[in-house]
Amino acid sequence: MKISQKFPQFEKEKALIIVAGRLETDFHIAFGGEITKVASFKITKPRYSDREGFVARASGGKAVSGGPSYSIDKEKINSDFLKVFKEKIKPFSQDKKIGRVYLFAESHVVNEIQKFLPVNLKNKIKEVVRGNYSKNHLFDLLEIISAKRS
């Protein structure tokens, strides 16, 4: 997609724009007046009907407590997300033309994502913007980048 003239054109170096939520991430490359989605992934959230996701804890042969497996699901979803993120980010760490990284991510995943960024990309982070931007148009993100640069 062509970048409007009112936004940075990224003429000299590529910019990697990462837009991440808890379950999905999009990777965009901006360069030479164009921006393109180059990769993405989405983790599916398990759905349980009735007591399918019910977890009971026992002690001494007696049921002590029970309830839905929400906390277990959150841990598994987070683990799955980070595993896929590590795989999807690898090709970008090998692209020597990427000179800037912009991270748009929900507050609760920003630190984890930064931990899993390869060092060469981590050193190129120009801006980290916290919030849910997964549904925003790319021009909204470019407007934020433009405002932060001036």
- The answer to whether position 34 is within a domain reads yes
Of 148, 86, 78, give the one whose Cα is nearest residue 118: 86
Number of domains in the chain: 1
81 within some domain: no
Give residue 33's domain range. Answer: 14-46+87-149
pLDDT band at 46 (very low <50, low <70, confident <90, very high): low
pLDDT of residue 47: 67
Nearest to 56, CA basis, from 47, 48, 66, 46: 66
Instruction: List, for residues 128-138, the tens digit of each pLDDT value.
Output: 999 999 999 99
Provide the CATH number for the domain around residue 101.
3.30.420.60
Decide if pLDDT at 1 tops 60.
yes
Give the percent of the chain with pLDDT over 90.
65
In a domain, 58, yes or no: no
Residue 70 lies in a domain: no
**Residue 54 vs residue 17, higher pLDDT:** 17
How far apart are the C-alpha atoms of 121 and 2, rounded to whole Å?
Answer: 25
**Is 65 part of any domain?**
no
In a domain, 124, yes or no: yes
Number of alpha carbons in the 13 Å side-chain half-sphere of residue 46: 17
What pLDDT shows up at residue 72? 55
Q: Note the pTM of the prediction, 2 decimals.
A: 0.82
- Cα-based distances in Å from 40 to 4, 23, 76, 127: 23, 11, 20, 20
Q: Please give the pLDDT value at position 144.
A: 94
Whole-Å CA distances, 106 to 21, 34, 62, 120, 127:
6, 25, 41, 22, 14
Banded model confidence at residue 79, pLDDT cuts 50, 70, 90: confident
